[in-house]
Structure 1
Amino acid sequence: MIIGAILKGKGTEVISVGPADTVLSVARVLSERRIGAALVRDAGGALLGIVSERDIVRGMAAHGPGTTGRSVEEFMTRDLVTVAPQTLVTHALALVTRRRIRHLPVLDGDRLVGLVSIGDLVKARIDEAEQEAEELKAYVAAAG
């Protein structure tokens, strides 16, 4: 299975915030949308980074109570790890495991086409394994 198949099922909506948005406003977006990360994009839509719950917690640990009023640009992860729609789910799972990250922006060339989480990847892999098991059962039943 490829990443593009996941996006067909979950959709391509990506929640983005601006680099000058406060940590508090981003935390509210993450909470309201029940998501773990948002992409950080400039006014022209260019991808600048990603901010996750983990980034916010680390910022709070380093800067204390004043963190919520600071800009997300101070805490976002700039070194993005991305995948393409044609990337195999198994490759993406290895990538998130090796890099210890939870979200992968999906780029088709330079164009952002979605975002997948480790949860999306695991669900896709489980669905694929269940389908394979059903096909094997059907094959054995037909052969028997």
Structure 2
Amino acid sequence: MHVSALLKRKGSEIVSVRSDDTVAAAAALLTKHRIGAVLVSDGDGRPAGILSERDIVRRLAADGAQALGRPVSELMTRDLVTVGPEQSDAEALALMSERRVRHLPVMDGERLLGVISIGDVVKARLDGAELEVESLRGYVAGIG
């Protein structure tokens, strides 16, 4: 399955914050949308970074509650790992494993199309495996 099909399944809603928003505001968005990461927008629609729950937890462990008042720009990951819509779910999963990331912005050139998570990719792979098993069961049952 292509990444574009994953986005079509899950929807392409993009939840983002600005780099000068507080970590507390970003955490509230993560909770509201029940997601594990939020894109940081640079103002022109392109992602400037990504902020994950892990980024927040690490800073909380280091700085305590003061971390919540800090700007997102201090915690976000700036070196984004991205994927294209034409890439396969297997390629996306391999990239996530190799680069140790759980969220990939989907870019078509300079245009942001959405974000996929490791959960989205694993679900698609499991759904594909279940479909294959059912097809094989039907094939075997039809032969007998």
TM value normalised by structure 1: 0.95
Higher mean displacement: 62-71 or 126-135:
62-71
Is contact 2:46-2:110 (8 Å) kept?
Answer: no
Which stretch of the first structure deviates more once superposed, 96-105 or 118-127? Answer: 96-105
Q: Give aligned pairs, total.
A: 144
CA-based RMSD of the aligned residues comes to 1.1
Identity %: 56
**What is aligned with 2:98?**
98
Stretch deviating more after TM superposition (69-78 or 93-102): 93-102
**Equivalent residue number for residue 85 of structure 2:** 85
What is residue 33 of structure 2 aligned with on the other side?
A: 33
Aligned mates of 1:46, 1:122 — CA distance in 2: 26
Q: CA deviation at 1:28?
A: 0.7
Alignment partner, residue 127 of structure 2: 127
SS in 1 for 2:44: coil
* Cα displacement (A) at 1:115: 0.5
8 Å contact kept, 2:84–2:108 = yes
The alignment's TM-score, normalised by the length of structure 2, stands at 0.95
Shift of residue 101 of structure 1?
A: 1.0
Partner of 1:73: 73
Structure 1 residues 119-139: Cα deviation after superposition (integer angstroms, max 9, x where no partner): 000000000001111111122
Structure 1 unmatched ranges of 5 or more: none
Structure 2: segments with no counterpart, 5+ residues = none
Q: Counterparts of 1:19 and 1:7 in 2: how far apart (Å)?
A: 25
User: Aligned partners of 1:26, 1:61: CA distance in 2, in Å?
Assistant: 17
Q: Is contact 2:46-2:111 (8 Å) kept?
A: no
Which 4+ residue blocks in structure 1 deviate beyond 6 angstroms?
A: none
How far does residue 109 in structure 1 lie from its aligned partner after superposition?
1.3
2:50 match: 50
Per-residue CA deviation, residues 84-129 of structure 1 (Å, 9 max, x unaligned), is 1111111111111121111010011111001000000000000000
